[in-house]
Structure 1
Amino acid sequence: MSSLLSAKEAFQKLPQKLHNFFIKYPPRPFAQYATEPSNVNDAQLNPFLPNKNPENGRWHGPKYSLRRSADLYKIAYKFGVHELLPPMPQGKKFFEDKYENKNWMRGQLRQKKHKWERELDDKITTRKAAMNAMDETIIKARPSFKKQLEKKKQRERSWY
């Protein structure tokens, strides 16, 4: 009985924004919320995600904008109840989650370069392959070139 009273007291001590949110949308143990956009009539409607009206096919924006949902999350995080909120849109990360998985040296280890620099290696390899196959390409266009190639091979000098 005392744990029930303490939970009620803890709920009363939450900031007004969070308190009102949990009244409208009960915490996760009492209600499940969709992780992806769903129908407006869905019982698991997530207030942070846009939802589609099946009757007319139009999309309704989220009940709480990204800024308001971020504010709610930050307040909930401060009070340790952030896990009770519905799933955040776009896999949004805050605080420790954000910094634990961050690639700190992204621009230092592998810089983006200009487009011509990124494509240069492929361009050179295709050019070399084309140069090596040039004789066959010319023969396809001009069959008489085959005789010239044979004469050229005969005139080549070797060291022996």
Structure 2
Amino acid sequence: MSAALQAVKNFRLRELPRILKTKPNARPKVVNPFLPRKNPDSGRWAPPKYSLRQQADLVKSARAVGLLHLLPPGPKLSPKEIETASASAPAQATEAGTTEEAKWWTAPVQWQGEYKEKEVKGADVGNRLYAGRKRMFKGHKWERTLEKRTSKRKMLMKDMDERIERFKSTYRRKTPSPVSPARAVSYSKLPF
């Protein structure tokens, strides 16, 4: 027996009541261990029995063996996935074993608790993060100002040759000639 099959079997043996062993045709209601539940006496919420990491491991192993239909719905396994898996499962379930023990732990169960799948905008397109947003998240400042800087840079580079020539000619005009006698040259734009 593979490790993946053993993991799914151990999960089912832990969670299913022993009533299935005595009455295999009964379809009992079992508390879904993948969902948080409210205690009717105290009114407090109890966390799920299996963490998200444990749920993900169980789903991976069940998917590898083809026993995905034996797990309850939860955050890591939607009801739609279970329905599609159960349609293709009967042939694979018989391969798991034909003994009396294998029959009772693979019996169908009604899981208590309803998993409400959240509808995320953009999930159908594949863009869940920025769906319905006008612009990207904050980001770095250089990322936010990049477009404005590049447009300004393009505008300045258009007539850069003329600007360089103008600068060189005015600079030459203002610098005194080393051959001529020294005289006061004003480099500033002030009148004195």
TM range (shorter): 0.3 to 0.5
The structure, 1 or 2, with the larger RCO (C-alpha pairs under 8 Å, 6+ apart) is 2
- Kindly name which structure, 1 or 2, has the bigger radius of gyration based on alpha carbons: 2
The structure in which a higher percent of residues are helix is 1
